[in-house]
Amino acid sequence: MPEQAAEAFAKVNLGLVVSSRGSDGYHPLISLAQSVSLADRLVLGFSDNDEFEVDGMDASDDNLAWRAAEAVRAEVGSSQPIVLRLDKNIPVAAGLGGGSADAAAGLAIAAGLFGLPADRLPELALGLGADVPFCLSGGLAVLEGRGERISRRPLVGTYAIAIVVPDLELSTPAVYGSWDELGEPEGDPVPTSHLPPALRDYSPLRNDLQPAAEALAPEVADWRVELSARWGRPVVMSGSGPALYGFFLDEAEAGDAISDRPAGARAVAVAVPVPRGWREVPVTLADPE
């Protein structure tokens, strides 16, 4: 039976400016987002019965990758059973957009399997979550509104990031609630001199949710301060956290930084920017890059 496979790339918020909650209950934002090489892997095919297998987390019908495949199947009016295998490498509930990345890749490979034109995917993506349209295109982009307004930017220059995820999970609604309660604080901007040259035109870059996350979970601040001291550079939180990262010249330097970290992290990774949110890969590929 035919199968389609893809890598789904994590998303890092290089900057996240948050505004007051609107009448719709959401906080408008402006974010500079970048897809990075940390990736999950999905394989989708036809089957005799619906099957969903996950390595790295619990399987659920509410999983975004599964919902994406179901959305494509419903869009074409098919009842063909499918089997979806998902290998999780992107830490969950970490502020790295793993669920949205899986949904985008799931939409893309399901469209290929069912013959749905690609121009019908953005609307389905938005129905799955505000970050999914970005992950469908990926690369470097400025996101506005709830994240659904996307202005793509060209990738310029190279750098690497070292990612450390403290051993805790943060609820995105709880972090936004904390931001409201704290009086809508601004995050500390990264000094321009500490940004990769390719990103200096976007300075100042800050994450307004960082103080809110640290108020909810002071361990995040402890990790950030310790990593910054060890690495000799600012350390930033991605999204609503708790994933933390620092900028480095290349993967080797970032790898050395990962080696110099406190014990007890939930996950660590070295990643580089990539120009897309997902990519099709051979079904026989065992692991993502």
187 burial type by CB count under 10 A (0-12 exposed, 13-18 middle, 19+ buried):
buried
Could you tell me how many residues make up the chain? 289
Q: Is the residue at 213 inside a domain?
A: yes
- Note whether residue 226 is domain-resident: yes
Question: Is there a single domain that holds both residue 35 and residue 164?
Answer: no
Residue 238 near residue 245 (C-beta atoms within 8 A): yes
- Number of domains within the chain: 2
67 plus 146 within the same structural domain: yes
Q: Do 212 and 231 fall into the same domain? A: yes
Cis preceding linkage at 122, omega within 30: no
82 shares a domain with 203: no
Q: Sorting pLDDT into bands at 50, 70 and 90, what band is 286? A: very low
131, 150 Cβ separation under 8 angstroms: no
Q: Which of 27-41, 46-60, 96-110 has the lowest mean pLDDT?
A: 46-60
Residues 73 and 116 in one domain: yes
Residue-wise pLDDT for 70-116, tens only, equals: 999 999 999 999 999 999 999 998 999 999 999 999 999 999 999 99
Looking at 11, 40, 87, 88, which residue is catalytic? Answer: 11
Average pLDDT over residues 252-256: 98
Q: Is residue 277 included in any domain, yes or no?
A: no
| Domain boundary pick from 138, 154, 170 | 154
Given 124, 154, 184, the domain boundary residue is 154
DSSP labels, 223-253: HHHHHHHHHTS--EE-TTSS-EEEEESSHHH
Query: Which band of pLDDT confidence, cut at 50, 70 and 90, is reported for residue 157?
Result: confident
Same structural domain, 263 and 175: yes
Q: Are residues 170 and 252 in the same domain?
A: yes
Residues 121 and 16 both lie in one domain:
yes
* pLDDT score recorded for residue 98: 95
Active-site residue, 131 included: yes
* CATH code for the domain of 55: 3.30.230.10
133 and 172 housed in the same domain: no
236 part of a folded domain: yes
Is 256 one of the catalytic residues?
no
Provide the pLDDT for residue 284: 72
Strands (E), 47-194: 51-55, 82-87, 140-145, 149-153, 160-165
68 part of a folded domain: yes
Q: Which CATH number fits the domain that encloses residue 168?
A: 3.30.70.890
Is 285 a member of any domain?
no
Question: Which pLDDT tens digit goes with each residue over 214-232?
Answer: 999 999 999 999 999 999 9
256 shares a domain with 167: yes
End of a domain among 154, 184, 199? 154
Q: How much is the average pLDDT of 156-161?
A: 90
Quick one: 59 and 105 in the same domain?
A: yes
Residue 62 binned pLDDT confidence (cut-offs 50, 70, 90): confident
Same domain? 117 vs 175: no
| Domain with 12 in it | 3-154
Residue tagged active-site, from 87, 102, 131, 208: 131
| Rounded average pLDDT over 161-165 | 98
Please check whether residue 278 lies inside any domain of the structure: no
**Confidence grade of residue 289 (pLDDT, cut at 50, 70, 90):** very low
DSSP symbol at 216:
H
